[in-house]
Amino acid sequence: MHEFLLGEATMHEFGLNLSGDNSYSYDYDPEIEPSITNEFSSAAYRAGHSMIDGFLKIYGRNRMEEMISLSELVQQPSRMRKWEFYDEILTTLTTEPVQKVDSFISESLTRYLFKSGNPFGAADGNPFGVDLPSITIQRGRDHGLRPYNDYRQLIGLARVENFEEFGPELGYKLSQLYNSVDDIDLWVGGLLEPKDPEDGVLGPTFRDIIADQFYRLKRGDRYFFENEPAVNPGHFTLEQLYELKKTTLSRIICDNSDGIMLKRQAPNAFKQPGVYGNEFVECDGPFLPSIDLTFWQD
């Protein structure tokens, strides 16, 4: 997943790749603070709000049976009573592409989120819900995040000098909302940054904030699962590490499905399935190896 978000070059730059299949990590640094940064939790990692499609296409055995608005599912689990629905929704989530990280947010999140049984208001079947982007922007202000321009400068980029740098349309809209480019919120500016198609799906500011957080968790947390016995009191054995590293998200999806509709998965769950190099394979076949739990027996 990190590679999908950040790109291979950033993974290499921040040293985020794992060690070999059957080896410990020896790069723990007690001087690195592993706590979650405010910028990561309140803004950068919420770039995913822009990637959410407002509709889920539910496929049956032979065709698409239904298109469901996301707002019809959030906090409404009654559909799970349908015998095949769990496998259907897993199939949808593993085959439908994500949206780009940009200025567009689905109406399911801007107007209708939690529209029924709204936890932020009256639970009386209100046809409208809450505006998630507004909540995210306000959260950043409540948490005291600095403006977007300050973080650009922090990662070594030039500060934005005028609204026109965002393009004529977005620049005009931003100028109607902010008195100065130095007032633009981090979450807003991060979404609007140009992306490098060869290096993940994020702009450079969000990319570096997220990569820095993953770096801190990997290098500064003594309990990181790869760390050697001399560092990690709860370390895994080398055999256990090998079993953990050989599993994939596709294997986890297969193991947690009901096996009614979902019986195949693409080996890489983070890339487009069913294409050359990522063709579907059977869940019970040899191409998605399972963890051997005997190595955890006392």
Per-residue confidence (pLDDT) for residue 200, from 0 to 100: 78
pLDDT band at 111 (very low <50, low <70, confident <90, very high): confident
Has residue 149 been placed in a domain?
A: yes
Q: What is the mean pLDDT of residues 30-53?
A: 95
Has residue 288 been placed in a domain?
A: no
pLDDT band at 81 (very low <50, low <70, confident <90, very high): confident
pLDDT band at 76 (very low <50, low <70, confident <90, very high): confident
pLDDT (tens digit per residue) in 235-284: 999 999 999 999 999 999 999 999 888 999 999 998 889 889 999 999 99
Asked if residue 46 has pLDDT above 50, the reply is yes
Has residue 224 been placed in a domain?
A: yes
Per-residue confidence (pLDDT) for residue 1, from 0 to 100: 52
Has residue 63 been placed in a domain?
A: no
pLDDT (tens digit per residue) in 88-99: 989 988 888 888
AA identity, residue 278: N
Alpha-carbon torsion, ordered 251, 254, 256, 262, to 10 deg = 160
Question: Burial, 55: exposed, middle or buried (Cβ in 10 Å; 0-12, 13-18, 19+)?
Answer: middle
Quote the crossing angle between the two packed helices 85-95 and 249-256, to the nearest 10°: 170
Q: Cα dist. 85→115, 259, 290 in Å?
A: 22, 11, 25
Per-residue confidence (pLDDT) for residue 126, from 0 to 100: 62
Q: Identify the domain containing residue 180 by its residue range.
A: 7-52+100-235
Has residue 204 been placed in a domain?
A: yes
Closest CA to 36 of 27, 22, 46: 46
pLDDT, mean over the chain = 90
pLDDT band at 163 (very low <50, low <70, confident <90, very high): very high
Per-residue confidence (pLDDT) for residue 61, from 0 to 100: 77
Q: Cα separation of 135 and 143, whole Å?
A: 12
Has residue 225 been placed in a domain?
A: yes
pTM exceeds 0.75 for this model? yes
| Annotated binding residue 235 | no
Per-residue confidence (pLDDT) for residue 152, from 0 to 100: 96
Percent of the chain with pLDDT strictly greater than 90: 62
pLDDT band at 170 (very low <50, low <70, confident <90, very high): very high
pLDDT band at 75 (very low <50, low <70, confident <90, very high): confident
CATH number at residue 196: 1.10.640.10
pLDDT (tens digit per residue) in 114-162: 876 544 444 555 677 889 999 999 999 999 999 999 999 999 999 999 9
pLDDT (tens digit per residue) in 175-192: 999 999 999 999 999 999
Has residue 58 been placed in a domain?
A: no
Residue 232: count of CB within 10 angstroms of its CB: 18
Where helices occur in the chain by DSSP H, the ranges are 2-6, 8-13, 38-42, 85-95, 107-110, 132-142, 148-154, 168-177, 186-192, 204-220, 238-246, 249-256
Has residue 207 been placed in a domain?
A: yes
Q: What is the mean pLDDT of residues 67-81?
A: 81
The two structure tokens encoding residue 106: 């689905």
Domain count, the chain: 1
